[in-house]
Structure 1
Amino acid sequence: MTLVRASDALSITNLTDQALRVRAVQAASAYDLETLVNVTHAYMTTASRKGARTSRKTLDAYALAVRDFVPWARDHGVTLLRPGQRDGGRYLAHLQTRPSQGQGKVGPLSASTAAQYVAGVRALYRALRWAGATEAQPFEDTHVPPDPTPGIVKNPPYRQEVDAALEQCGPRLAALLLLCAHAGLRITEALGLKTTDLQGSRVTVTGKGGKTRIVPLSRRLRAALQGVVAVNGAGNLFDWNYAQASYRMQKAFRAAGYPGVWRGFHAARKHSGTRLYTATKDFTRVGLFLGHSSVDTTRRYVAVEQDDVAGEIENF
């Protein structure tokens, strides 16, 4: 679901400085949720570090955070333009104790989800400062304690599930799964591919921030892609959105005998990274393959066995 329309944010961007300040002050004073979301969107796409290249996923995540924080602030007596110095910590405490509202999830929010909400509210206050409405920074010193359980443990890579699920997939769905599990593509990258991106044993991928990389294709993936033709005149390989692709893949995992194991396409991307690291023992090469700008990010995608160095220390 799209949480904010680009046209609404554009109308904010086109205001004069004075009109923007007035609009932002009025919205914050009235806890006007929609306008505050649009002000944040306008700031993120015009004045933030990434500007127009800010991803749709980030914009929607921040909009969700604003939609959570503003009603909480109103109900807890927080004046948005003049928040108290402890209000950032109060909201974080709320996030750490409120139950998750995700489908099928129980218990409190995860540390990563709470951090995403805090990041979204920080963006709101950067937007209000950009608009000239306030100088407040109530979340400057608000930090979410890291989760002691590594993400690779909480959401590990698929293992044998990939081959089992492939047997339950049609040609196009199998190609999509292999693009994530063999080529290591993000699901948005895979769904956005066109036939012109394919060049023999490689594919040109446009990733985050508009960065491009050339990714080698496995023998099985090349064979799977041979049976996939463009679905429309634009040359797209797929005509599914994320929800449609996820629904089809969940069905394939259930049919393969893995009900409840589906953890999203990211676990297939981790499958790719883990297999490549096992073969190369080189985080830098794996990071380049996955399109990461930092090796620290790559480490979160690779499941390393606890006794990975046992052979090396045998003769110490």
Structure 2
Amino acid sequence: MLVETAFMVDSAFATDDGLRTQLAAWQRELGAVRRLAPRTLEAYGRDLDQFLGFLAGHTGGPVSLKTLEDLRPADIRAFMAQRREESLGSRSLARALSSLKSFFSFLERGGMAQTEALNVIRTPRLPKSLPKALTIDEARQTIETTGEMEERPWVAARDMAVLSLCYGAGLRISEALALTGSDLEAETLRVTGKGGKTRLVPLIEPVRRAIDHYVALCPFKPWPEEPLFRGVRGGVLAPRLIQLRVEQLRGALGLPPSATPHALRHSFATHLLGKGGDLRAIQELLGHASLSTTQIYTAVDSEHLLESYRKAHPRG
């Protein structure tokens, strides 16, 4: 069904039946096997359509599988340069290159065409955006006000416990919702992160109290190996419900659009670093595979420091 509703590559620039067949088969694979979202399918199809149109003009003739196999790196660079001149941003350029690589990889797996041109093209450098942390007061208000947004005491306790884990333990929302009773120990949490990697995170007293309060009020008593946090019908709690709760809190507290459950995790790291926390220790707490991923919080902390300096200094 996804493929039927997806944007199909315009085959007007493809001259042989083989290329047209491969274009259709590639899009079927993206939809049925890889299950890409309809909008992503549309974007990939549009990227290929634009590339084939460029090649038709660039090579001075129709496009065939042989045309694709004879491509040189200079041809790919010319296409990227033209798209850049059309004011395409780095993210869109990176996606276009990803679309091309996906199609050429599909052709290579099927033994239909093979080219080395794409292997030497670098992905455009993407601008790094700094994580947007809440202030300490904003983070506290977000958690404390949660109980006022919900009439059912156990649901209010549940949402407060989840948000407490995001800010008080630095968990991703998916990690918090995957916790089971057996993951809770007296002073630590066993967290399963990306790639199935587990780590131990200290369980500070306010977070422990929030979890215990939820467990005491929750009408559903899961087995120790089952997810701890439950929806109102007893099923596993969906992340979207917590995201909606934070959206309500944004409106109630006047918080910026960047205030999300994940922003509480950013706040956890930023506030720890601001209080002199060790970068390596924060890396372990967050479950980052690379220290360079954690180092971005040093830039966030420096930005906050400079902002405070500009506000407070007489000549700021």
Q: TM-score range by the shorter chain?
A: 0.5 to 0.7
Deviation at 1:301, TM superposition (A): 3.6
Deviation at 1:143, TM superposition (A): 2.0
Q: Which residue of 2 aligns with 1:255?
A: 252
Any unmatched runs of 5+ in structure 2?
4-17, 54-62, 147-155, 230-235, 307-316
Deviation at 1:213, TM superposition (A): 0.5
Aligned-partner SS, 2:113: coil
Q: Greater shift after overlay, 214-223 or 112-121?
A: 112-121
Aligned-partner SS, 2:52: coil
Counterpart selection for 1:182 from 168, 173, 186: 168
Cα distance change on mapping 1:26 and 1:165 into 2, 3 Å: same
Counterpart selection for 2:126 from 126, 133, 146: 146
TM-score by length of structure 2 reads 0.65
Aligned-partner SS, 1:205: strand
Deviation at 1:115, TM superposition (A): 4.2
- Does 2:74 correspond to 1:77? no
TM-score by length of structure 1 reads 0.65
**Residue pairs, 1:1-316, within 5 angstroms:** 28-30=22-24, 32-38=26-32, 41=34, 65=40, 67-74=42-49, 76-77=51-52, 82=68, 84-85=71-72, 86-87=75-76, 90=79, 94=83, 111=90, 115=94, 118-119=97-98, 122=101, 125-126=104-105, 128-136=107-115, 139-140=118-119, 141-147=121-127, 150-152=128-130, 155-159=131-135, 160-169=137-146, 170-229=156-215, 231=220, 233=222, 235-238=226-229, 239-258=236-255, 260-302=256-298, 303-305=300-302
Deviation at 1:138, TM superposition (A): 5.3
Instruction: Decide which structure has the larger Cα Rg and report it.
Output: 2
RMSD across aligned positions (CA) = 3.6
Mapped partners of 1:281, 1:243: distance in 2: 31
Greater share of helix:
2
Aligned residues: 253
Q: Which amino acid aligns with 1:145?
A: R
Q: Which amino acid aligns with 1:196?
A: S
Cα distance change on mapping 1:127 and 1:33 into 2, 3 Å: closer
Deviation at 1:64, TM superposition (A): 6.2
CA offsets, 1:205-231, max 9 Å, x none? 111111110111222111111122375
Deviation at 1:294, TM superposition (A): 0.8
Tell me if the contact between 1:181 and 1:272 (Cα under 8 Å) persists in the aligned partners: yes
Deviation at 1:38, TM superposition (A): 4.8
Tell me if the contact between 2:222 and 2:228 (Cα under 8 Å) persists in the aligned partners: no
